[in-house]
Amino acid sequence: MGKVYLIGAGPGDPGLLTLRARDLLSMADVVVYDYLANEDFLKFCRKDAELIYVGKKGGDHTLSQEGINQLLVDRAGSGNHVARLKGGDPYVFGRGAEEAQELLQAGIDFEIIPGVTSAVAAPAYAGIPLTHRRYASSVSFITGHEDPDKPESAHNWASLATGTSTLVFFMGVKNLQHISHSLIQAGMDPQTPAALVRWGTTCMHRSMVSTIQDIPGQAVDQGFKPPSLLVVGHVVRLRDELNWFEKLPLLGRGVVVTRAREQASGLLEQLRELGACCYEFPTIEIQSLPDYSDVQQAISHLSGYDWLVFTSVNGVLYFWAELERAGLDSRALGGRKVAAIGPATAQALEHRGIRPDFVPDKYVAESVVQGLLDLGVQGKKVLIPRAKVAREVLPQELEKAGADVHVLPVYQTGLAQESGQSILEAMQEGSISYITFTSSSTVENFFSLVQPGEVARHQDQGLRLVCIGPVTAGTLNGFGLEADIVPEDYTIPGLVNVLLEDAGKRGDNS
């Protein structure tokens, strides 16, 4: 027999997943996940794990609850460890208890992993504490999904209207009019503050404040739809004062990251910390070479080179892997001069005990060439560990200046995506504000999947194209498109900074 872990995935912010939940996802044979469980969590799963989506959205059920119950029993009964990933907390309007009862009846072991419930987290991100010594000393969690046409309500509206300081309704948007009417009829002051929080804690987070009397109409006017929480009570008065999350400068803005998955984490982390909705669309896949005999031969003759020039972090990583495979370390570079194309590459070298002798002020090949010429590279023997296919400006210009250049491929790149359909759909929905390009290869591979005309059409409607530097922007020009944003500092932090400046000028979350 296997075992089922009923895991609370939290309200949507990946940072609110518990450590226990992450560890169980990483060992599960089967992962069964809901609509409200952030798909980012699936990155923690084993590559060979079976992933099964059973989400329910607006009455459209991928699988009935009975079907989900049977699925859990069948998979665990076959000896699998099953992670059942549920939005929020399994036991707070999550039907986790029902699933646990079915497992118990079938003789299947289970474990409950509590999650951060959206009832607490979503209002907190909107600046609404559920309790406060001045405003509220009690809280009620209530389902708003009750059928308003049934003869008798399961709720004691009089008690809710007069006996509890703060009310939090789950799934109440469709029944807002009924909830509002019922509370007022039961004695609640029509001017009692009320708020809606939609997609709380995620990059799509929105909130609005009104009164319990007016909120049904204002919700329609402002386009509030499920999934949204309704918060009722005087704590809502604190929203404008304590609302921190909605002040993030990129909140709600969709940003496409085309960088290779191996390199994208730093950019993604910075953008998400600023509130952006990141669309990971790596167009480049970093791959090992099929044969490293040339690299090993070059490493065995390092003493014959005067300079080593690294043009990327990946060049450092793959070169060092072969250096270590040869039983060597940073001492093998003793007596050699070392150059790095930019600060990230320089940092990768420093982590391996090498402080570069030269890092240019402008992080492009042309600046490396000029800097090395100023340092007397003429007549010197230069080794350039790099990608198999890359710009030839650096080796060509150094050779013209009289250097003896050996280009050494230490890795290769390939196309990481099979289709651009997901990005096209997101552009058509108006969900994307920026597309970022961090190298010429990302541009070329992106447009092997997406037609430039499609991008140009959306660029006319406000989509902005961001290139890390002039070389990448020049490659974009070759596809008939102009870069809207190019930083003066050709680095990831520089790219993020100019994107922030542009977002600030645009004002709205478009």
Backbone angles phi, psi at 313, to 5 degrees: -60, -40
Please say if 56 is a catalytic residue: yes
The pLDDT of residue 8 is above 80: yes
- The mean pLDDT value for 437-441 works out to 92
User: Model confidence at 61, in pLDDT bands (50, 70, 90)?
Assistant: low
Non-local CB neighbours of 222 within 8 Å, separated by 6+ positions: 208
The CA distance from 355 to 357, in Å, is 6
Tell me if the domain spanning 254-283+417-506 has CATH number 3.40.50.10090. yes
Tell me if the domain spanning 287-415 has CATH number 3.40.50.10090. yes
The CA distance from 222 to 361, in Å, is 49
The CA distance from 400 to 239, in Å, is 65
The pLDDT of residue 149 is above 80: no
From the list 34, 89, 337, 380, the catalytic residue is 34
The pLDDT of residue 466 is above 90: yes
Cα–chain-centroid distance for residue 319?
A: 30
The CA distance from 100 to 133, in Å, is 37
First to last CA, the chain: 51
- The mean pLDDT value for 189-213 works out to 97
User: Model confidence at 320, in pLDDT bands (50, 70, 90)?
Assistant: very high
Q: In the prediction, which pLDDT does 94 show?
A: 87
Which 8-state DSSP code applies to residue 136? B
**pLDDT, tens only, 343-354:** 999 999 999 999
Q: In the prediction, which pLDDT does 262 show?
A: 77
Q: In the prediction, which pLDDT does 296 show?
A: 97
The pLDDT of residue 509 is above 60: no
Answer whether the bond into residue 227 is a cis peptide, omega within 30°.
yes
Percent of the chain beyond pLDDT 70? Answer: 97
**What is the overall mean pLDDT for the chain?**
93
Cβ burial, residue 257 (10 Å; 0-12/13-18/19+):
buried
From the list 56, 174, 362, 381, the catalytic residue is 56
The pLDDT of residue 510 is above 60: no
Instruction: Answer with the residue of higher pLDDT: 273 or 390.
Output: 273
> CA 232 → CA 238, 244, 348, distances in Å?
12, 20, 52
The pLDDT of residue 212 is above 60: yes
Q: In the prediction, which pLDDT does 461 show?
A: 92
Q: Which of 33-37, 84-88, 312-316, 399-403 has the lowest mean pLDDT?
A: 33-37
Please say if 34 is a catalytic residue: yes
Non-local CB neighbours of 166 within 8 Å, separated by 6+ positions: 130, 131, 136, 138, 139, 140, 231, 232, 233, 235
Q: What pairs with residue 169 in β-bridges?
A: 142, 230
Strand-pair category, 284-287 with 404-415: antiparallel
Q: In the prediction, which pLDDT does 148 show?
A: 63
**pLDDT, tens only, 485-507:** 999 999 999 999 999 999 999 87
CA dihedral 53, 56, 60, 64 (to 10 degrees): 80
Nearest Cα residue to 270 out of 40, 491, 118: 491
Mark 203-214 as b/e (b = at least 16 C-beta within 10 Å): bebbbbbbbbbe
Longest CA–CA separation in the chain, Å: 93
- The mean pLDDT value for 446-452 works out to 95
Please, what sign has the CA dihedral across residues 432, 436, 441, 444? positive
Q: In the prediction, which pLDDT does 147 show?
A: 64
Q: Which residue blocks in 7-117 are alpha helix, DSSP H?
A: 19-27, 65-77, 96-105
The CA distance from 315 to 318, in Å, is 6
**pTM of this structure:** 0.84
CA atoms within 13 A on the CB side of 136: 24
Q: In the prediction, which pLDDT does 154 show?
A: 83
- The mean pLDDT value for 378-402 works out to 93
The pLDDT of residue 1 is above 90: no
Please say if 171 is a catalytic residue: yes
Cα–chain-centroid distance for residue 327?
A: 38
From the list 3, 40, 74, 171, the catalytic residue is 171
The CA distance from 301 to 297, in Å, is 7
The CA distance from 314 to 230, in Å, is 49
The CA distance from 141 to 258, in Å, is 42
Contact 471, 391 (CB under 8 A): yes
Looking at domain 3-116, its CATH class is: alpha beta
Q: In the prediction, which pLDDT does 260 show?
A: 84
**pLDDT, tens only, 228-252:** 999 999 999 999 999 999 999 999 9
Task: Report the amino acid identity of residue 186.
Answer: A
Contact 86, 72 (CB under 8 A): no
The pLDDT of residue 316 is above 60: yes
Q: Are 254-283+417-506 and 287-415 the same fold in CATH?
A: yes
The pair of three-digit structure tokens given for residue 406, joined into one six-digit string? 């050996």
Q: In the prediction, which pLDDT does 38 show?
A: 72
Q: Identify the CATH number of the domain defined by range 121-130+156-247.
A: 3.30.950.10
Q: What pairs with residue 196 in β-bridges?
A: 208, 230
Number of residues that this document lists for the chain: 510
* Domain spans, the chain: 3-116, 121-130+156-247, 254-283+417-506, 287-415
The pair of three-digit structure tokens given for residue 205, joined into one six-digit string? 């987070």
**pLDDT, tens only, 408-418:** 999 998 888 87
Nearest Cα residue to 338 out of 358, 323, 322: 358
User: Model confidence at 55, in pLDDT bands (50, 70, 90)?
Assistant: confident
Q: Which contacts of 477-486 are long-range, i.e. CB under 8 A and separated by 24 or more positions?
A: 479/443, 479/447, 479/452, 480/452, 480/456, 481/452, 481/455, 481/456, 483/437, 484/459, 485/434
The CA distance from 418 to 413, in Å, is 15
User: Tokens 């607490």 correspond to what residue?
Assistant: 120
- The mean pLDDT value for 117-122 works out to 96
Percent of the chain beyond pLDDT 90? Answer: 82
- The mean pLDDT value for 218-235 works out to 96
Q: In the prediction, which pLDDT does 407 show?
A: 97
- The mean pLDDT value for 419-429 works out to 93
